[in-house]
Amino acid sequence: EVQLVESGGGLVKPGGSLRLSCAASGFTFSSYSMNWVRQAPGKGLEWVSSISSSSSYIYYADSVKGRFTISRDNAKNSLYLQMNSLRAEDTAVYYCARGEQPLDYWGQGTLVTVSS
């Protein structure tokens, strides 16, 4: 069974940093592209970043470019999102999702709240 479990969310002040993790199991992690997608409270889905299976290709939404860094460790079956210079508008549930197209499995999400 495919499982994606996010962790690392919490309350952080504007300008602060946070690192999210996503632990994958039930599939060959190193064979799949992975993504981060976020959802602000009561709002729709927003794609944040993607990374290819070998980390050769990395993409970001303009809204996070230069502030967020996606990475992965295939030996540890883990995906990461380093978030710096956080803003109030980054407040959201962050999901990790498997796949290039489509996003076929999603984790349960981790809540990031940016507030003073």
Partner 1 sequence: EIVLTQSPDFQSVTPKEKVTITCRASQSIGSSLHWYQQKPDQSPKLLIKYASQSISGVPSRFSGSGSGTDFTLTINSLEAEDAATYYCHQSSSLPQTFGQGTKVEIK
Check residue 66 for interaction with partner 1 (CB under 8 A).
Answer: no
End-to-end CA distance of the chain: 40
One-letter amino acid at 114 equals V
| Window 6 to 45, contacts with partner 1 (CB under 8 A) | 35, 44-45
Binding-residue pattern over the window 88 to 107 for partner 1, x denoting contact by CB under 8 A? -------x-x--xxxxxxxx
How many positions of this chain bind partner 1 (CB under 8 A)? Answer: 21
**Quick check: 28 and 35 in contact, CB under 8 A?**
no
Check residue 109 for interaction with partner 1 (CB under 8 A).
Answer: yes
Check residue 47 for interaction with partner 1 (CB under 8 A).
Answer: yes
Check residue 59 for interaction with partner 1 (CB under 8 A).
Answer: yes
Q: Residues near 52 by Cβ (< 8 Å), separated by ≥ 6?
A: 33, 58, 100
- For residues 86 and 93, which CB has a smaller minimum distance to partner 1 in the complex? 93
**Quick check: 22 and 83 in contact, CB under 8 A?**
no
- For residues 73 and 104, which CB has a smaller minimum distance to partner 1 in the complex? 104
Check residue 46 for interaction with partner 1 (CB under 8 A).
Answer: yes
10: left (phi over 0), alpha (psi -120 to 50) or beta: left
